[in-house]
Each structure stands twice: as C-alpha cells, then as structure tokens.
Amino acid sequence: MGTVKCIGILTSGGDAPGMNAAIRAVTRSAIYNGFQVKGIYRGYEGLITGEIEDFKTQNVSNIIQQGGTILKTARSKEFKTPEGRQKAFENMQKEGIDALVVIGGDGSLTGARIFGEEFNIPCIGLPGTIDNDLYGTDSTIGYDTAMNTIIECVDKIRDTATSHDRLFFVEVMGRDAGFLALNSAIASGAEAAIIPEDRTDADQLEEFINRGFRKTKKSSIVIVAESPKDGGAMHYAERVKNEYPQYDVRVTILGHIQRGGRPTAHDRILASRLGCAAIEAIMEGQRNIMVGIQNNTIVYVPFIKAIKNDKTIDRSLIRVLDELSI
Ligand code: ADP
C-alpha cells in the first residue's frame, strides 16, 4: 500500500447526533492536510453500489449543528459476505480511495476491521453511537446529546407522575448497555435504574420497591434500559401490576426521539477532535484502530480491543443513585 492520497468517509449502523460534526471535521482536516476526500453514502451499502461523491469543504458547510447524518446510514447484509466486500474493494479502487474513515458503533467497526485486514486498507474508526458502549473511549459521539434529550423528557414525565402519585417506568435505549439508563437516572433525579449490567444481582425491581417507593415517596420514576433479554419497561410494569397492585403504574418508551436533535456542545467538540485525530492517525500510518478519548486525551484503540472488550459500568454510580433517591 502506497501513501494515502484520497480518504473515503462513511457513517454506518444506528445514527447518532454529532455524526455530521464528525463528517465535517474529517473532511475539513483531510483537505487542510492535502488529501482528497470522497463521501460514501448509506454506509457500506453505498460502498458496494458506488454511491460516492467528491467532497469539498462546501459539502460540509452548515451541518455541525444538525442531527442525523448527511451521508445517510444503512445496515448492509451484503457487506457481511466476502463477495460484498470484494465489490466494495473494487469500487474503492475505481474511485481511487486508499483509506477509509468509518463512523459508527460496534458492528460498523467490526466491519471495518474485517475489511481493512482482508484488503490491507488503512481503516480508522470513530465511535458514533448514543449507547456509549464502546470500550476504550470515555464517551462516544451522540451519547451526551441522547442523555440530554432523555432528561428533558423525564423532567416532563415527572410533572405528571407527581400530580397523580404515579409510578412511571421510562424505557431508554442502550441495547445491552446501561450507560444511558444509569446516568440519565442520576441526572433526572429518578428513583432507580434497571440496567443489564446489574442483572446478576438481586431482583432489581424488588430491591427498588422495598428500598424507596414504600418509604417516603408517593410518585416514582424508574429508568429501564431497553433489553431484549429482560423485556424492558413493559415487563416491569406488568410485574408491578401483578405483584404490587396498589401502585398506579404507567410506561413511557422514549424510542427514536433519543436519536434525534441538535448535538450538544460536548458532542460537537468531541466529534471535531476525533475527526481531526482520525486524519492525524492516517498521516502517522495507523491502521485498524478506533480513535477514542480517555481522560480528555486522544487515544488510539486497536479495533480488536474496542470491539471485543465489554466496557464496564462504574459501580460507584449505582451507589450515587441509591444514596440520592431516598
Ligand atoms: P452499529 O455500527 O451501530 O453497531 P450494526 O451492528 O447494525 O450497527 O452494524 C452496521 C453494519 O456494519 C452492518 O449492517 C454491516 O454492514 C457491518 N457489519 C457488522 N458486523 C459485521 C461483520 N461481522 N462483518 C462485516 N460487516 C459487518
């Protein structure tokens, strides 16, 4: 592989606010440093079908404040096959793209790792997901915005919960990660969070009922991490209806609201820093790494580590929530 002249950029998997700020940063930093840039639409799918466009600085004007991704995103089954990736590689050659920056979550970075190794292409990943579930970075692009959206919603739910003395189960996103649930519970003053990381412990619902709700409070808000294994907020609401019929229970599933909206200052700055760092990494000859941030310092994390390792939840946060919800 010779020196890199042209960098391709794509967003893949679930969209996250701040992806546009990252696209802008990668594009501008690349052009600033003398590279050519090509925008690839609809993630790996667009790489396979050849939906690729030359990107100039104007292509990324006026997008830093917008949620979603101007490059669009997709889930590509074909890219999971060797034939699909072969097509993607051929299109890259045709377009003269010799390095790739992929903005996405766990799945997207897995794809980048496989593709990069298979065809010996420098691939750099940026963590773009509201779930914050990537190992090796304190924060992912979109997480802070999603958390702020959640607390805005929970503040509103609190008004009605208090007025009616109700118990609300609010379901938030996160797949199998409880970062959004636990931290938004702390930030919104919720009474408890039910998170997958705590699944092995004592029954979380029973604990909560015994500890908090019965004592001093007439209304309560419990944030539940969506989880295909546990059945989410609906499951817990059903249980309360059956086991503690004295409570007036309601469920709110926040859903896709959590993905949208203008990115917060935190996410814009994070995306801008990571985007510039991705270009720096390419100039240093790095490959097969995710660029992350740890203790406010840019770090390079080998894909294999970022994908394979589970990011652990800080258990002191569970204690903070417990202590403050009496
Ligand atoms: P996210 O990046 O948000 O975790 P997905 O898990 O849906 O989202 O992954 C996004 C895309 O990444 C998939 O649609 C697929 O094209 C690609 N991908 C995921 N896993 C693999 C894999 N094992 N091999 C090749 N490509 C993959």
Question: What would the pLDDT profile of 175-213 be if each residue is shown by its tens digit?
Answer: 888 999 999 999 999 999 999 887 665 678 887 777 765
Ligand 1 atom with minimal separation from the 80 CA:
25
Give the pLDDT of residue 96: 98
Write the single-letter amino acid at 204: Q
> Residues 117, 122, 123, CA angle at the centre, nearest 5°?
80
| pLDDT for residue 200 | 62
Structural contact between residues 248 and 218, judged by C-beta atoms closer than 8 angstroms: no
Interval 271-304: pLDDT, tens: 999 999 999 999 999 999 999 999 999 999 999 9
131 given a catalytic annotation? yes
Q: What percent of the chain has pLDDT over 70?
A: 96
Residue 208 neighbours by CB distance under 10 Å: 22
Atom 18 (ligand 1) nearest CA: 111
285: DSSP letter:
T
Q: Exactly one of 15, 131, 133, 267 is catalytic; which is it?
A: 131
Q: Which candidate, 290, 301, 271, places its Cα nearest to that of 111?
A: 290
Buried b (16+ CB within 10 A) or exposed e, 180-199: bbbbbbbebebbbbbbbbbe
Once rounded to an integer, what is the mean pLDDT over residues 28-41? 98
Nearest CA to ligand 1 atom 10: 13
pLDDT score at 244: 87
Exposed, middle or buried by CB within 10 Å (0-12, 13-18, 19+), for 254? Answer: buried
- How far does residue 248's CA lie from ligand 1's centre (Å)? 41
Which residue's alpha carbon is at the smallest distance from atom 5 of ligand 1? 107
List pLDDT tens digits, range 93-110: 999 999 999 999 999 999
CA distance 311 to 293: 14
218: pLDDT strictly greater than 80: no
- Mutate which of 79, 100, 307 for ligand 1? The one with the most ligand atoms within 8 Å of its CB, which is 79
Per the DSSP assignment, residues forming a β-bridge with 225 are 172
What is the dihedral sign for C-alpha 47, 58, 14, 108? positive
Whether residue 10 contacts residue 51, with contact meaning beta carbons closer than 8 Å, is answered with no
CA of 87 to the centre of ligand 1 (A): 16
Ligand 1, pocket residues at CB < 6 Å: 12-14, 44, 75-76, 79-80, 104-108, 110-111, 114, 129
- pLDDT above 90 covers what percent of the chain? 82
Element (DSSP H or E) covering residue 206: helix 204-208
pTM: 0.95
Backbone angles phi, psi at 226, to 5 degrees: -60, 140
Cβ atoms of 324 and 211 closer than 8 Å: no
Q: What confidence score (pLDDT) does residue 217 get?
A: 67
- Tell me which of 32-41, 133-142, 223-232 is least confident: 223-232
Per-residue pLDDT tens for 1-12? 469 999 999 999
Q: How much distance in Å is there from the Cα of 111 to the middle of ligand 1?
A: 6
Q: How far is the CA of 113 from the centre of ligand 1 (A)?
A: 11
